[in-house]
Amino acid sequence: MSAASPADLSPIRGQRDGAGRSPQQMFDEIAHRYDRANRIMSAGVDIFWRRKAIPRLLEGLGETPRLLDLGAGTLDGALEIARRLPGATVIAADFARQMLRAGRGKLDTPALRAHVLPQVADGHALPYATAAFDGAFSAFCVRNLSDLPRAMGELRRVIRPGGRIAILEFFRPARTRVFFDKFYNAKVLPLLGWAASGDREAYRYLPASIAAFCSLDEYAQVLRDAGFPDVDARPLFPAGVASLVVAS
């Protein structure tokens, strides 16, 4: 398995933030401030969500699985996998090179550097062989993909038969949640993100992208259409702000 070069990456089209940046450009620009902003805005609950999701992914995959972390960002998910299962090899793939670069400093032992391998890659055209992985994890990435059915088809292709995926994401709610959607996401979150990162438009993009994304049920159907017949989709604490989807 090898990383894509910049020339290999197909452009990510469609979504733009208020400054006219693609998600790839936006995440590259906020990479060095991303972790701080994330912890402040989620009050650390994002850590809880990963710890809830990753055991579901790893169950029954053995001691030395090959795993893909799609949209690995600053490597928090890949590191949690490595801590729970030190024998796993994790390809930490992201289209934002600077996000991966910001996370490399967390690979602070020879074992982590041997087992967590950051690679620049586009989820719409993954540069990996068919059935290359035993499973895949993705946290808050799929909402940023411009062609979701194509990307989920690619994810299905690189996971071996019988493998499993675990997806954490913010989906469009079935009905408006007054506190989270009308107040926190719309007003408080952009202000917190601006204070923590200095980039207001990046954190206006977040609630806008949630509102424009599919619902949890719709996403489950996308996965079934991509070839994952067994899909378990459920909201997470608190109040279903995030959801976990496990499929095989």
Does residue 139 or residue 194 have the better pLDDT?
A: 139
Average pLDDT (40-67) is: 92
pLDDT of residue 196: 65
Using the 8-state DSSP alphabet, how is residue 107 labeled? -
Does residue 12 or residue 203 have the better pLDDT?
A: 203
What is the percent of the chain with per-residue pLDDT over 70, rounded to a whole number? Answer: 83
Does residue 242 or residue 190 have the better pLDDT?
A: 242
Does residue 248 or residue 203 have the better pLDDT?
A: 248
Q: Which two tokens stand for residue 63?
A: 């001691």
pLDDT of residue 181: 66
Q: 200 and 208 in contact (C-beta within 8 Å)?
A: no
pLDDT of residue 52: 94
Confidence of residue 201 (pLDDT cuts 50, 70, 90): confident
Terminal C-alpha separation, the chain: 22
Q: Is the pLDDT of residue 225 over 80?
A: yes
For the chain, counts of helices (H) and of strands (E): 9, 7
Superfamily of structural domain 22-247: Vaccinia Virus protein VP39 (3.40.50.150)
Q: Is the pLDDT of residue 18 over 70?
A: no
**238: preceding bond cis by omega (within 30 degrees):** yes
pLDDT of residue 237: 84
Q: Which residues contact 233 (CB under 8 A, 6 or more apart)?
A: 216, 217, 219, 220, 243, 244, 245
Residue ranges of domains in the chain = 22-247
pLDDT of residue 6: 30
**Cβ neighbourhood burial of 209 (10 Å; 0-12, 13-18, 19+):** middle
pLDDT of residue 187: 67
Does residue 59 or residue 40 have the better pLDDT?
A: 59
Average pLDDT (208-230) is: 95
